[in-house]
Amino acid sequence: MKKDDGIWMTWPAFLASSFNYDDFTVSVKRNEKRQEILDEFRSTFSDAKAYREGNNPAIKNLRLEAMKPLFEGTANLYVRADYAKDIVEAIKFVKEFGVKKLVIVGGDESYKVASVLKENQVPVILNQTHRLPNGVDENVYLPYELPGILYKAGVKVAVTYSDEWWRTRNLAFLAGTSSGFGNVTSDEALQFITKNAAEIAGISNQVGTLEKGKQASFIVSDGDVLDMRGNVVQMVFIKGGKVNLDDKQKRLYEKYKVKYGKK
């Protein structure tokens, strides 16, 4: 729907974890390469900013050319950062170099700096929330509550399954859980996977809400689409066209109902 919507980078954390495949343990230690990576970031963005301010260079640098939209506000800079201090550092960094649109991805500790995110109008795409908290002293329900906490603080938030693309079919249930635990309504939680996500990605003129002039892509469910007990999809429409939902599993299920009289 949108070509070259942004550039991704991972902010180096103060702590680095490693997994030992011999005894299946995780060790956490200071990230010794952190400053080296930050220096590289600074050098690259300095070059990109200078390149953009130059007047039609004779030889084009494709890498720096690709970064131009960051300074023009036509593309997002997606920064993966979980720790509160890293999030604040990333915000200061992009302001220093004049990057127009920052999006924090991950944001496990974003609730600690919600006021900073709101003040700088930085949206957050959260990691999957069906998980245990990262800290042993954190509320066990914190991941479920996190989208609602940010929303109530005035931060634009979306939820995702991160790199676990095969689980995106259950994305609606992440929103449903945030409604049950995060003190937000179902309609507000639905925005975490529709309206807000589209606005963050810069495609809200095409999708995200059902409005005249947008793509008519939606589903029809027997029950609450955010509840796995009621989310029984009956019809799907993509760009106004009805999708055939018939498959082998569905036909087997229909035969099972006829044979055993199940409802």
pLDDT in tens, 74-85: 999 999 999 999
Confidence band (pLDDT; 50, 70, 90) for 173?
A: very high
Cα–Cα distance, 143 to 128 (Å, whole number): 8
Q: What's the average model confidence in pLDDT over 155-177? A: 91
Considering all CA atoms of the chain, what is the largest pairwise distance in Å, rounded to the nearest integer? Answer: 75
What is the pTM for the complete model shown? 0.89
Query: What was the pLDDT predicted at 166?
Result: 84
CATH assignment of 6-210, among 1.10.10.10, 3.40.50.2300, 1.20.210.10, 3.20.20.140: 3.20.20.140
> In this predicted model, what pLDDT tens digit does every residue of 95-143 receive, in sequence order?
999 999 999 999 999 999 999 999 999 999 999 999 999 888 899 999 9
Phi/psi of residue 79, each to 5°?
-115, 120
Residues found in the chain:
263
Cα–Cα distance, 243 to 236 (Å, whole number): 5
Can you tell me which residue has the tokens 């975490």?
192
Residue 167, pLDDT > 90, answer no
Q: Where are the beta strands (DSSP E) in the chain?
A: 6-10, 15-20, 25-30, 76-81, 102-106, 124-126, 157-159, 218-221, 233-238, 241-242
Confidence band (pLDDT; 50, 70, 90) for 262?
A: low
Question: CA–CA distance from 237 to each of 14, 118, 121, 221, 231 (Å)?
Answer: 46, 35, 33, 12, 16
A 10 A CB-CB count for 256 gives: 11
Residue 3, pLDDT > 80, answer no
Q: What's the average model confidence in pLDDT over 31-42? A: 94
HSE-up (13 A, CA, CB side) for residue 191: 15
